[in-house]
Structure 1
């Protein structure tokens, strides 16, 4: 057993070294391929981790995809890669970097250390890898509980929806008492920051089957946990078009918003069955069921980023265009003032009869 553990440890160290060697001088292309917005490959821009307005600069100073933030400190390309891939683990980021460059990685779960097949993207996952990731989803989901009054998830949602009743919380949301959160220390070593209560949300693909789990890290009082990335998805199995289906559709209409909280506000204050697209990319890609004739889009009127882009607003526009191209009606709702809180905006709208 000790020999096997030593072999796995040696293989792990070799993988890390291999990944950094392969990525040296290629971090920009690698991170863009992973989906990192080009904004975070520039200097003097908002930090993706702490949100500081102009604290963050990508430098690649030491050839490791280095960046520096005046608020939360330095980091490297592997931390950015984890962020770009939706909060995957350190070793999953290592595997992705190796596979992106055409290499293969060993299976560290057994003593044989047999090489794994090359997986360049989530679109090329083997059936075995898909099942492994699905197993992660199930294990995480099974560790959660139904949301009940007084738990951290209920407190979090009740801040947005005063007087929240347990019956208002959809079954696709769960409370997890101790989500593990990992972060790098000043010596670039991964450390277990702590366990936080959290909200789990099942993301269902176009076929209605769970294709990912979204996690929101919280405090015991229901506020966002004091961590760089309080919202994360699990590692993808490559299914696009998914959404958090908070309620079943009614009739031939569909409503969609980005965040879970905004979608719940639409359900309460507008009386509509609303799905959460999770983020701007999800808004662009969400699958529109064939039976839907009308889609109501609650789009963010976000402030422009450093490149002048309004990612949330643009995502809503693209979804509306796609719906119309499919022969469906699309009605868009957006705050008149850029940067207005979406929950406040939804509450200001008249409730539909």
Structure 2
């Protein structure tokens, strides 16, 4: 049976392995470069072979050599070989498009779309992350001048990933920045669906990452969902009044000043287009104060729209001037400036 399955799977191992073991996605998408091992982590011990799509083979400098896709899956999933065979067989049977490369290209619909890959990347990043260790989140919260206890609030909606494979654009060119630690926060849309992850990149000590061009980025959303009313939901579930801010750190600062919750819309555009849950009668926007007035204008846009729908919107701006050397101030800046 296994020889027939190998023949049928030949040319499709990238789809098969990434579907059954999403933790291998970084390696599959790395163009055969070394990445952290999906099992023990590390820095750059694992890679797939150049003929991976034909054979499914991979190697880890620590764990050993895996000559074909069955061995790779057995290693990456912890399943027995019989369980792996069953999953591969079932997957192939459910995908009649997985036929020989000798067939006409026009008759072969792609078994994996870009949207599917986005979902797999989200799943892989989440599975790579620690479920119990919050040490980096605690260090980052403290480094921003916030109470360390708020790390638990954040961690209820996030995980820390110490082996996040990172690519960012620099002057129009995609640059591989290797492994960077990050906090991955769950982004929900207005239908209460978890649709994406927001990455807050850190340095090795848990402080803000100053190496990357963008220390805060969103991952592409998974397929089949709508991007609307999106936020990272921090704190208690609001009853009638909802606190909103742009940044996660700003939301935590609002909570440090006594509020039981504050949802972070991540950026001004999402703030302006936000629609609160039906039970919400009042929205308090803890807006950023920018020289460009981007944050205030987004809050005003939200206010004008929601007031027409019967929802009261109160806009609060940090009561402090913008330093000449800065582009803006937010409620975190204000909180940090308060005497402790």
The TM-score by the shorter chain falls in which range?
Answer: 0.5 to 0.7
Alignment-derived partner of residue 290 in structure 1: 278
Contact 2:253–2:331 (Cα < 8 Å) also in 1: no
Number of residue pairs the alignment of both structures matches: 232
Alignment-derived partner of residue 333 in structure 2: 344
Contact 1:249–1:273 (Cα < 8 Å) also in 2: yes
Matched, 1:254 2:239: no
Deviations 1:70-125, CA, capped at 9 Å, x for gaps? xxxxxxxxxxxxxxxxxxxxxxxxxxxxxxxxxxxxx9xx96764559xxxxxxxx
Distance 1:158 1:147, change over 3 A: farther
Alignment-derived partner of residue 265 in structure 2: 277
Deviations 1:221-240, CA, capped at 9 Å, x for gaps? 22222111111111134422
Alignment-derived partner of residue 213 in structure 2: 228
Distance in 1 (alpha carbons) for counterparts of 2:228 and 2:288? 21
Distance 1:248 1:286, change over 3 A: farther
Distance in 2 (alpha carbons) for counterparts of 1:250 and 1:341? 22
Alignment-derived partner of residue 11 in structure 1: none
Distance 1:147 1:315, change over 3 A: farther
Q: After superposition, where does 1:1-353 map in structure 2 within 5 Å?
A: 114=108, 130-146=115-131, 148=133, 151-165=135-149, 166-183=151-168, 190-225=174-209, 226-236=211-221, 237=223, 238-304=226-292, 310-336=293-319, 337-338=321-322, 339-346=328-335
Contact 1:269–1:347 (Cα < 8 Å) also in 2: no
Q: Give 1:210 shift.
A: 0.5
Distance 1:153 1:162, change over 3 A: same
Distance 1:346 1:324, change over 3 A: farther
Q: Give 1:130 shift.
A: 4.6
Contact 1:161–1:265 (Cα < 8 Å) also in 2: no
Which ranges in structure 1 are unaligned for 5 or more consecutive residues? 6-106, 118-125, 305-309
Which ranges in structure 2 are unaligned for 5 or more consecutive residues? 1-6, 13-96, 323-327
Q: Give 1:206 shift.
A: 0.9
Contact 2:249–2:332 (Cα < 8 Å) also in 1: yes
Structure 1 counterpart SS, 2:235: coil
Distance in 2 (alpha carbons) for counterparts of 1:285 and 1:146? 32
Distance in 2 (alpha carbons) for counterparts of 1:199 and 1:228? 17
Distance in 2 (alpha carbons) for counterparts of 1:234 and 1:327? 34
TM normalised by structure 1 equals 0.57
Structure 2 counterpart SS, 1:169: helix
Distance in 1 (alpha carbons) for counterparts of 2:240 and 2:170? 51
Distance in 1 (alpha carbons) for counterparts of 2:169 and 2:315? 41
Deviations 1:198-220, CA, capped at 9 Å, x for gaps? 11010001121101111112101
Moved more, 232-241 or 273-282: 232-241
Q: Give 1:344 shift.
A: 2.7
Distance in 1 (alpha carbons) for counterparts of 2:180 and 2:230? 26
